[in-house]
Structure 1
Amino acid sequence: MENTINYGIDLGTTNSAIAKFIKGEVIIFSNPQDYGRNTLPSVVSYKKDKITVGNKAKEFLEKDPKSVVGVFKRKMGTSESFKIKSINESKTPIELSAQVLKELKTFVNTGDNLDAVVITIPASFDTIQSNATKEAGIQAGFKQVVLLQEPIAASLAYANMKKEREMQEGQWLVYDLGGGTFDVALIKIKDGEMKVLDHEGNNFLGGADFDNMIVEKLVIPKICEKFNFSNLEDDMKSASGKLNAKYYVLLRRAEEAKITLSSKTSAEIIVDGFEDEDGNEVDMEIVITRSEFNELIRPNIDGTIKMIKQILTRNSLKPIDLQFTLMVGGSTYIPYVRSHVEEVLQIPANCEIDPTTAVAIGAAYYSATKPKEIEKTGTKAKTSISIKTSYNKASKEKDELFSARITGSTDSLSYRITRQDGGFDSGIKKLTERISEDLPLVDGAFNFFSLVVYDSQNNIIETDIEPIGINSGFGISGQPIPEDICLEVDDYDNPGKTRLQLVFQKNTILPSKKTLSYPLNKTIIKGSEDEVIRVNILEGSHLALPEANKGIGFMQITGKNLSRDVSKGSDIEITITISESRDLTISAYLNMADQEFKQTFNPKERHIPVNELKEQVEDLSGKLEFEIQEATDKEDFETAGALSKLKKEMETVSEETESLTNDDVTDKRYQLEDKKRKIAQEIDSATKNKRIQQVKAHYFEIKEECEKMLDENGNDHERKTFNDIVAQESVFFSTNSPLKIQEKSDELHSVLSRIRWRTPDFLTDIFQWCKNNQTRMNDQNQAKSLVDAGNFAIESQNWDRLSEINSGLLNLLPRGAEKEATTRIGFGL
């Protein structure tokens, strides 16, 4: 069995492809059902007795469009499913993708058992979408699925095509506009290694959108000019609409027209087969010109250029600093896309690679560097010698160190290492328990070596060693995460609310691991169900509100999970690990209980009911109005102006959301949810100055109080902590980051809290407040017992005991009442 994966798949929105790495080169497999074509249309058709994938499936669109599904990648990671009329069942995007993957297996004519594969995803795919893609691979029968971002795959294809002698160190952009998604990535080559520095993307922008726009903006208006329809668009786009079947027919014809416009200045779309509301037969030929089409898609292409400019600004670059823009994805065949991007950026549009197969080819190159990690079934033949190897599978060194540990008797045995091309021969050497060898590599190639063991008569001894392969071509330093990964924690500046603590910043290279420690803000009693420690992981900007981001992992610990009580102020350690393929593992360790709780998350669906989306949009509209009014009242006209610019966009989102039917068949709800989230982030950005002023005021308030408490009751360790924070003021104030300033406030607050909870006056005040609220406590008998004990502790001046009693009393109060007594501390509950 080969010890590397060697197969790569581009699972595309409109077309997919499969390729294999073989002896230093990549072959892309042809479609056996469509001679001469290397891609498979990502379309699935169902009949009662069979499933059809590809061009044959597309042919059934006009006959039975409600039994044919395409563009389902756009809904990957959602709870959406597609109702299949012919079988009276619903199929999820995962199930449909699995059918495409299974069909791609039939392209392979090498006789291999395809049990492991690299599957590409858009760089902007979030964790849920990534996990859904892996699940599709598992359902297709692959035992190991490794994910690779599409811009990286395209870059690997290009670099390995050009080889080292033709490649120069420097930076370029990958502009990947496919059938349903868009990515732009900034790539850098240095010392023979490629690195993704930054990226932007839109999971709802591609050729499928252009097809939709042709139908919605050009075809439907021209139909309505000649025929009588009260609401033709809804009749077509709603699943229950009487003309829903015709919508899919027009989409296919719009796609054909779009392709024609890449080589001709006009194209025709035939509209027929239905009647208007007056009973007139609709039968017309609509001519679409290239200039009309270009004007239609211009705002979208300008949007992609805006993303490029964001990347350049973030990285302090100008277009002149880049070598070229590598064009990838079927939609870059559109002449206007290439010319407009080149014209605006004033750098060459590089069209040297096939935009439809480059991603699959790059995936295959990458797959040759990924070891198979599949458990071998059956009984492995026993050998007298076992060899465990260690070496880098990708290296730009002239020589790569190879080492091995030998198990078994090595008496009278020797070994020899040779390179497959005959360019290296170690000669016969004595075999020992540990061996090492510098293996010379051919630049820009995959180097294969064999290690053979001999007995004293030079007979070959059977071993369990697998082929040694080292890539001296271009490798990738790792895959970056597309968005921040954050932990939800308490917002001390706004009691009762939460904020985000950054764990992994956008573009952090995977895999990655981080541990954070927080003091608990309340006592958790063993066996109790009411008090809960919640660990919530979100994906999105750490500067945004938690509700503006996407949840990817949630764990909770109750008293029923504990082996003993854990006191308020004791530490909880949160360790978050994220793998290269985006599996997220959360580990929570409670020091006092000496217990660890661990959970791995790979959510595959995000639920967005239309009604819930409408409520979220309405709430955000209200927040925007409030912020505009507040800024105007304070005569902060700069902020008010910035927010007002968002108002029109917010109104558009509101109108489009309100117009959605509950059974809308398009992916409009996901596009609108994405727009809503981005507006929420822009509101946060526009009100940043207000928040900076708030957190600065809070910082100085905490600082003053902390300084006073330190003078009265602080210890040397607390004074040092305080002085260290104050010494950094100029640094964290200059960042103008509310988050950084808030973090320092939190650190001061932690010092202040530790002092307070051993201060007699504070402890007495808390106790008195609890006594006054005794009737609100959920266990009156326990409350009376604790109050009696507290009175005795005050009389005897036993402040440690009073601290424990206060914690017990606070835990008997409703959560809202507890916040009245004391500021919430540390980790959010």
Structure 2
Amino acid sequence: MENTINFGIDLGTTNSAIAKFVKGEVIVFNNPLDYGRATLPSVVCYQKDKIIVGSQAKVMFGKQKKDAFTQAFFKRKMGTSESFQIKSQNRSITPIELSAQVLKELKTFVNTGDNLDSVVITIPASFDLIQSNATKEAGYQAGFKQVVLLQEPIAASLAYANMKKSKELTDGQWLVYDFGGGTFDVALIRIKDGEMKVIDHEGNNFLGGADIDQMIVDKLVIPKINAEFSFENLEDEMKSASGKYNSKYYVLLSRAEEAKIRLSAVTSAEIVVDGFEDEEGNEVDFEITITRSEFNDLIKSSVDGTIEMIKTILTRNSLGSKDIQFTLMVGGSTYIPYVRQRVEEILQIPANCEIDPTTAVAVGAAYYAATKQKEISKSDKQQKKSAISIKASYNKASKEKDELFAARVTGETENLFYKIVRQDGGFDSGLKKLSERISEDLPLVENAYNFFTLTVYDGLNNVVETDVEPIGINSGFGISGQPLPEDICLEVDDYDNPGHTRLALIFQRNTILPTKRTLTFPINKTIIKGSEDEVIRVKVLQGSHLALPEANKGLGFVLITGKNLKRDVSKGSDIEITISLSESQDLTVAAYLNMADQEFKETFNPKERHTPIDLLKEQVEDLTEKLEEEIEQATEKEDYETASALSKLKKEMEIVAEETEKLNDDDVTDDKYKLENRKRKIAQEIDSATKHKRIQKVREHYFETKEECLKLIDENGNDHERKTFNDIVSQEEAFMSTNSPIKIQEKSDELQSIIGQIKWRTPDFLTGIFNWLKGEQTKMNDQTQAKSLVDAGKFAVESQNWDRLREINFGLLDLLPRGAKEQITTKIGFGL
């Protein structure tokens, strides 16, 4: 029994496919209901008491019959709270459930008798953690017990590399240009010494063939209908779920797709517009002719947008066109001649069209699946009961001539022997004595899948049953890991701006998964065992660590209250936070409180993000105001370069605001998600344009903090504090040259920590804080406890018991309301 997954699925926006790795080669399964076709249209139809998936459902989508509910392009809404209403069944269905139906249908393609319990499913490289989780959930709902995710550009690269084999592939770099039905990705791939690695990527989850179809309808078809017939608000009535002509919009999208496909082969195509009347009762029934020239002009800005993403990658990695061997074209939209021509013409990099754009991703997924171990739980498979247990360790993909195989053996090994044989008979280890450890160098046949069997024998050469499974090593190309699409950050207190928070970078984008990191922070409040009011919240976000926390995507948080604690936890004690991220983007956060000796662990699997249109409109309005303020400030300071850059963004912002305002609450398109993406990018560009202002501010703050810290160390510092100070200052040139506000702020925080340590053992400071707190006693939450602490504090001052006074001050601070805490933070100049 093979112990690798072997099955790979391309779960596409418009078409999906399934493939299997079989003894070194990959087979793509044909659609049993659509002769000669290896893909399944990702369309689902609910009609009366049956569910139809694929080509027949696509036909229904193009007709939009009243007695059927048909949905396509739902991958675009994976990870959102969107659902679709099936009126005939009086229920709604989610993108996850629709995707599960497509996956179930793909299972019927497999005619090899396999039990499909494990699978690799591909996702766009720019899918965030929430979209990734939604995809895994669709797999589980389809009946798979193990779902491993693989980014689409990596899958395409594996398909290409294993097709070409190592003799034809030299060390170097290429681009994967993946323009599919619903998403666009571009990835920079590097091969060095036989290892393939993803260096960088960019993408847009709302740019694909479906958007081209929508552009044809919105920019060419609807204007021509309006010019010929009488409609007051045709576009809104088509795009609104409750609109009079909503069903006709889907019909036109389907016909636009057909015209788009024809235009790849001919110079003009017709779209029939019929089946409804205008508002004056005139029958709408005519043809619109679209020329290839018109079509190319229509998509030019979108194609140029993909080229700009490539230029961003090249610039970020200090590469020119001459450094790139070719651009590998993948995805159905790369069949469009203009796409290939334009990319090649602008970049001056050869376009490589050697692999099938529609099945390459599924093929690559199957190659990857052959390197992934099945991990079905013991309850899900019959376990072999044997006296000898062998746990093996080896690389599933290797370009080495020999691969090390290691194993640990448990059970009675006396008078037992083992032999390892390659399936083709080209290697036989010979009979060797079995011990607790096995170590063998297994010779590999180049560019082939190598199968070995390990057999245990007794002294009479009888086979002894074990639980060891076949050994499979792919000598073709593998991948060194998948890159993280966006930064993962923690939201932490911003001591420089009391009452506000900032982001602490945990994992930077393009970090190779899986990954793990542990950080330690001091707790900024005392948590009393049993209390409910004070909490520690460890919040994790995804997005640029240079952005404001609210501009990023919340993934989840670990919440610790006094009710969870075994004992009180004092302010200033450490919390140790460990964050791990699997290759399929499972996020686990563990928070360990040293003082309580307790760990709080949470695995985050958020599967949807809410994007209410009213909230989007509010966010766009707020960002517009922020942009106006930044332009005004830059103009007042005569910083005309920044003002000019921001003014260009203002024009883009006005377009976003105008388009957002047009959205209906029941809009059926992906427009709100596209606009949210555009809004987020503008916010990042505003941050980028004003970055020098933030850098200047944090630099000034750093040098002020450094001066104060040095003065305090000279007066009351110890050797440890002086060493820590000198270590920070010695790194000054390095962190200042990064021009990163975050890195400079981190060093200011480290100096501030030294200041705090010194101040909180200085009698004058402790006495001053105590006197101020006495004046705030009437504002405190528990007057009885406050009076008791103040009386104890007076005695500590008289007896000069400074350690006791420090504890009392912390106790009094914890009794203050939040506003008063922020006031004292500002007064003493560092966070509490």
Give the TM-score category using the shorter length: over 0.9
- Which consecutive unaligned segments of at least 5 residues does structure 2 have? none
Instruction: Give matches, 1:222-621, under 5 Å.
Output: 222-377=224-379, 380-621=383-624
Look up the match of 2:32.
32
Equivalent-residue separation in structure 2 for 1:134 and 1:443 (angstroms) = 34
Equivalent-residue separation in structure 2 for 1:770 and 1:55 (angstroms) = 74
Q: Structure 1 residues 308 and 77, CA, compared in 2 at 3 Å: closer, same or farther?
A: same
- Native 8 Å contact 1:498 1:828 kept in 2: no
Equivalent-residue separation in structure 2 for 1:794 and 1:406 (angstroms) = 68
Q: Structure 1 residues 310 and 765, CA, compared in 2 at 3 Å: closer, same or farther?
A: same
Look up the match of 1:107.
109
Look up the match of 2:150.
148
Equivalent-residue separation in structure 1 for 2:576 and 2:463 (angstroms) = 54
Equivalent-residue separation in structure 2 for 1:246 and 1:438 (angstroms) = 65
Instruction: Give the Å deviation of 1:411.
Output: 4.1
Instruction: Give the Å deviation of 1:828.
Output: 9.4
Q: What is the DSSP-based 3-state SS (H/G/I as helix, E as strand, rest coil) of the residue aligned with 2:378?
A: coil
**TM-score where L is the length of structure 1:** 0.98
Equivalent-residue separation in structure 2 for 1:824 and 1:745 (angstroms) = 18
Q: Structure 1 residues 541 and 826, CA, compared in 2 at 3 Å: closer, same or farther?
A: farther
* Cα deviation 1:406-428 (Å, max 9, x = unaligned): 33444443332211112112223
Matching residue's letter, 2:47: K
Instruction: Give the Å deviation of 1:381.
Output: 4.1
- Native 8 Å contact 2:64 2:251 kept in 1: no
Q: Structure 1 residues 60 and 485, CA, compared in 2 at 3 Å: closer, same or farther?
A: same
Quick check: 1:672 aligned with 2:675? yes
Look up the match of 2:197.
195
Instruction: Give the Å deviation of 1:532.
Output: 1.3
What is the aligned counterpart of 2:791 among 788, 793, 798?
788
Q: Structure 1 residues 181 and 808, CA, compared in 2 at 3 Å: closer, same or farther?
A: same
Quick check: 1:23 aligned with 2:27? no
Instruction: Give the Å deviation of 1:531.
Output: 1.3
Look up the match of 1:73.
75
- Native 8 Å contact 2:229 2:284 kept in 1: yes
| Off by >4 Å, runs of 4+ in structure 1 | 823-829
Equivalent-residue separation in structure 1 for 2:222 and 2:130 (angstroms) = 35
Quick check: 1:44 aligned with 2:47? no
Q: What is the DSSP-based 3-state SS (H/G/I as helix, E as strand, rest coil) of the residue aligned with 1:707?
A: helix
What is the aligned counterpart of 1:700 among 687, 699, 703?
703
Matching residue's letter, 2:472: G
Matching residue's letter, 2:5: I
Look up the match of 2:656.
653
Q: Structure 1 residues 433 and 533, CA, compared in 2 at 3 Å: closer, same or farther?
A: closer
Matching residue's letter, 2:350: P
Instruction: Give the Å deviation of 1:108.
Output: 0.2
Q: What is the DSSP-based 3-state SS (H/G/I as helix, E as strand, rest coil) of the residue aligned with 1:513?
A: strand
Instruction: Give the Å deviation of 1:765.
Output: 1.7
What is the aligned counterpart of 2:713 among 701, 710, 715?
710
- Native 8 Å contact 1:490 1:824 kept in 2: no
- Native 8 Å contact 2:752 2:830 kept in 1: no
Equivalenced residues, count? 829
Equivalent-residue separation in structure 2 for 1:519 and 1:824 (angstroms) = 20
Equivalent-residue separation in structure 2 for 1:292 and 1:85 (angstroms) = 39
Matching residue's letter, 1:380: Q
- Native 8 Å contact 1:5 1:370 kept in 2: yes
Look up the match of 1:58.
58
- Native 8 Å contact 1:173 1:184 kept in 2: yes
Instruction: Give the Å deviation of 1:48.
Output: 2.4
* Cα deviation 1:6-44 (Å, max 9, x = unaligned): 000000000000000011110000000100000000000
Look up the match of 2:163.
161
Q: What is the DSSP-based 3-state SS (H/G/I as helix, E as strand, rest coil) of the residue aligned with 1:204?
A: coil
Equivalent-residue separation in structure 2 for 1:406 and 1:528 (angstroms) = 51
Equivalent-residue separation in structure 2 for 1:768 and 1:292 (angstroms) = 78
Matching residue's letter, 2:675: L
Equivalent-residue separation in structure 1 for 2:419 and 2:524 (angstroms) = 64
Look up the match of 2:97.
95
Matching residue's letter, 1:471: N
- Native 8 Å contact 2:496 2:830 kept in 1: no
- Native 8 Å contact 1:519 1:827 kept in 2: no
Equivalent-residue separation in structure 2 for 1:411 and 1:809 (angstroms) = 70
Equivalent-residue separation in structure 2 for 1:610 and 1:380 (angstroms) = 52
More deviation in 43-52 or 458-467? 458-467
**TM-score where L is the length of structure 2:** 0.98
Equivalent-residue separation in structure 2 for 1:544 and 1:151 (angstroms) = 27
- Which consecutive unaligned segments of at least 5 residues does structure 1 have? none
Matching residue's letter, 1:102: K
What is the aligned counterpart of 2:213 among 211, 215, 218?
211
Matching residue's letter, 2:664: T
* Cα deviation 1:417-461 (Å, max 9, x = unaligned): 211112112223333333322110011111001122333443333
Instruction: Give the Å deviation of 1:719.
Output: 1.0
Instruction: Give the Å deviation of 1:63.
Output: 4.2
- Native 8 Å contact 2:30 2:38 kept in 1: yes
* Cα deviation 1:653-699 (Å, max 9, x = unaligned): 11111111111111111111111111111111111111011101111
Instruction: Give the Å deviation of 1:142.
Output: 0.2
Q: Structure 1 residues 520 and 827, CA, compared in 2 at 3 Å: closer, same or farther?
A: farther
* Cα deviation 1:780-823 (Å, max 9, x = unaligned): 11111111111111111111111111111111111121010125
Q: What is the DSSP-based 3-state SS (H/G/I as helix, E as strand, rest coil) of the residue aligned with 2:89?
A: coil
More deviation in 304-313 or 437-446? 437-446
Equivalent-residue separation in structure 2 for 1:564 and 1:457 (angstroms) = 64
Quick check: 1:685 aligned with 2:688? yes
- Native 8 Å contact 1:489 1:828 kept in 2: no
- Native 8 Å contact 1:327 1:355 kept in 2: yes
- Native 8 Å contact 2:495 2:831 kept in 1: no
- Native 8 Å contact 1:157 1:362 kept in 2: yes
More deviation in 363-372 or 710-719? 710-719
Equivalent-residue separation in structure 1 for 2:164 and 2:331 (angstroms) = 19
- RMSD across aligned C-alpha pairs, in angstroms? 1.5
- Native 8 Å contact 1:490 1:826 kept in 2: no
Equivalent-residue separation in structure 1 for 2:195 and 2:390 (angstroms) = 30
Instruction: Give the Å deviation of 1:762.
Output: 1.5
Matching residue's letter, 2:212: F
Equivalent-residue separation in structure 2 for 1:509 and 1:652 (angstroms) = 37
- Native 8 Å contact 2:64 2:247 kept in 1: no
Equivalent-residue separation in structure 1 for 2:88 and 2:766 (angstroms) = 72
Q: What is the DSSP-based 3-state SS (H/G/I as helix, E as strand, rest coil) of the residue aligned with 1:476?
A: coil
Equivalent-residue separation in structure 2 for 1:656 and 1:239 (angstroms) = 18
Q: What is the DSSP-based 3-state SS (H/G/I as helix, E as strand, rest coil) of the residue aligned with 2:270?
A: strand
- Native 8 Å contact 1:174 1:186 kept in 2: yes
Matching residue's letter, 1:147: L
Q: What is the DSSP-based 3-state SS (H/G/I as helix, E as strand, rest coil) of the residue aligned with 2:793?
A: helix
- Native 8 Å contact 1:182 1:206 kept in 2: yes
More deviation in 715-724 or 335-344? 715-724
